[in-house]
A and B are shown apart, each in its own frame.
Chain A
Amino acid sequence: MIRLEGAGKTFGRRGEPVLSEIDLSVGEGEFVCLLGGSGSGKSTLLHLIAGLEEPTTGTVSVEPGPPPALMFQDHALFPWLTAGGNVELPLKLRELQPDRHRTEAARLLGLVQLADRYDTPVHELSGGQRQRVALARALAQNSQLLLMDEPFGALDAITRDDLHEVFADVWRQQGLTVVFVTHDVREALRLGTRIVLLSTRPGRIAHQWRSTEGAVADEQEITERLRKEVHAHA
């Protein structure tokens, strides 16, 4: 679904590379967590896949189809629309028949357990609810590929726990391919089928784990390695 070969990114003409020599392929239905400290270029890597940035070296290719849906740490919902209005927007842009907008948006809000919030303005929703609406909006794009940039990073622990559950269900039901950026080892372990650890400055792939390799035992090991990568450049 996604293939990066020797992909690197440098900003500006004389800047230091943010990403270097990234070889990564993501298959259909995978849930890949990109783990790394700040400055590891994990968001930049996501932007390369999303097509928001061009690689300076190497290649990035994404299977043709609807453009990938993106979720940000900030919900990036449109404040002039209601929850339902936000979810309807991608449907309008997809030129779905107008009489189906409301039913489809309501179905998607149902998936994230916010069916009763259709007409609620964004500013009256809680942080967790906003991220759920953002998820429903991303799903409305009908893309097989969902790219998420620390989407739950700004939420409190309990809300984040609830959202993990909602989101894991949605991922299974919809058979999505997900690339998920996080700096939280437990989150990565809980959600990912694969964890990719990035080193810092430049971001390189330092290590990869698959969840089949015994997830529980890994938490300490992964945290240890992440700590090493973060401290190597502190």
Chain B
Amino acid sequence: MLSLGSLVPALGHSLFRTVLGFTASVLLGSAIGLLIRRYAPVRRGLSPVLSAIQSLPAAGLVPLAVLVLSESEQAVYAVVLLGAVPSVAMGLVGALDQIPPLLLRAGRTMGATGWDSVRYVLLPASLPGIVHALRQGWTFGWRALMTAELITETPLPGIGEILNTGKQTDDTALTLAAVGVILAVGVVVESAIFTPVERRVLRTRGLLPRERHR
């Protein structure tokens, strides 16, 4: 019987999965994004597919992942990847596409080519967009993980499973607590990581109004 005390270890399991899944999504999504940006045929072929996957609810991905990978932790990870990778990839492409051509030209005339161009021009110029892409990738991944944990048949320890148990045992307190934990994770990640990073990135570029002195 699951109780409120089981929330803490469950949170640990879910966080471990989401960090691992998010890291993998960032690596894979960045690689796909760079390929899309670099090769026009890849863009034509992959962009619509990725956008379509983005519009699929995670609940629709679970049966597919289970069919291919059967009931397993791998299936859960597959759902997280399918949720987060398209956001990271498309977000990165958007961030790179929005770099003013003048800055690219300025970089080129200064002799920034190849890796130098990535390091000194492309990456810093697209950083605001990259932060946005990462945030979206994280949100999609976290949501997909909760859904996957909630509806896979083999119970995997995690917040989603607690939510499921709460529902099946009519335990309102447990269900509300699980929802609260899911929300709290979102708030903590947002306010401890994404917001400060984004503010810093925008402030360096003069894109945030200065705080008023009184």
A interface, CB within 8 angstroms of B: 50, 52, 67-70, 72, 74, 76-81, 89-90, 92-94, 121-124, 137, 141
A69 to B205, CA, bound (A): 24
Given contacts A122-B206, A141-B111, contact A76 B127 (CB under 8 A): no
Q: A117 to chain B: closest CB distance in Å?
A: 15
Q: A75 to chain B: closest CB distance in Å?
A: 9
A137 to B120, CA, bound (A): 14
Q: Please, which residues of chain B bring their CB within 8 A of the CB of A72?
A: 102, 105-106
Please state if B116 and A80 are interface contacts (CB–CB under 8 Å). no
Please state if A76 and B105 are interface contacts (CB–CB under 8 Å). yes
Please state if B206 and A123 are interface contacts (CB–CB under 8 Å). yes
A33 to B86, CA, bound (A): 51
Please state if A79 and B205 are interface contacts (CB–CB under 8 Å). yes
Please state if B204 and A80 are interface contacts (CB–CB under 8 Å). yes
**Interface of chain B, helix or strand or loop or mixed?**
helix
Please state if A80 and B103 are interface contacts (CB–CB under 8 Å). no
Chain B 82-109 residues near chain A, CB threshold 8 A: 102-103, 105-106, 108-109
Residue interface bits B111-143, CB-to-A below 8 A is 1, else 0: 110001000110011010000000000000000
Please state if A124 and B206 are interface contacts (CB–CB under 8 Å). yes
Please state if B111 and A74 are interface contacts (CB–CB under 8 Å). no
B110 at the interface (CB under 8 A from A): yes
Contact residue among A67, A78, A121, A124 (Cβ-Cβ distance under 8 Å from B111): A67
Please state if A121 and B204 are interface contacts (CB–CB under 8 Å). yes
Interface core residue of B109, B112, B121, B204 (most chain A CB under 10 Å):
B109
Q: Please, which residues of chain B bring their CB within 8 A of the CB of A92?
A: 120
Besides A79-B205, A94-B111, 9 more A-B contacts (Cβ < 8 Å) are A70-B109, A78-B106, A80-B125, A89-B120, A90-B110, A90-B111, A93-B120, A121-B204, A141-B111
Please state if B206 and A76 are interface contacts (CB–CB under 8 Å). no
Nearest A residue (CB) for B112: A93
A94 to B121, CA, bound (A): 15
Q: B119 to chain A: closest CB distance in Å?
A: 10
Please state if B102 and A74 are interface contacts (CB–CB under 8 Å). yes
Q: B60 to chain A: closest CB distance in Å?
A: 40
Q: A39 to chain B: closest CB distance in Å?
A: 20
Q: Please, which residues of chain B bring their CB within 8 A of the CB of A121?
A: 204, 206
Interface core residue of A74, A92, A93 (most chain B CB under 10 Å):
A93
A92 to B116, CA, bound (A): 10
Nearest A residue (CB) for B110: A90
Nearest A residue (CB) for B108: A52
Q: Please, which residues of chain B bring their CB within 8 A of the CB of A122?
A: 206
Q: A122 to chain B: closest CB distance in Å?
A: 7
Please state if B105 and A78 are interface contacts (CB–CB under 8 Å). no
Q: Please, which residues of chain B bring their CB within 8 A of the CB of A52?
A: 105, 108-109
A70 to B107, CA, bound (A): 10
Nearest A residue (CB) for B113: A93
A–B Cβ pairs within 8 angstroms, 13 of them: A70-B105, A72-B105, A76-B103, A76-B105, A78-B106, A80-B125, A80-B127, A89-B110, A89-B112, A90-B111, A92-B120, A93-B111, A121-B204
Please state if B206 and A79 are interface contacts (CB–CB under 8 Å). yes
A50 to B109, CA, bound (A): 8
Please state if B205 and A123 are interface contacts (CB–CB under 8 Å). yes
Nearest A residue (CB) for B123: A80
Interface core residue of B106, B120, B124 (most chain A CB under 10 Å):
B106
A71 to B156, CA, bound (A): 60
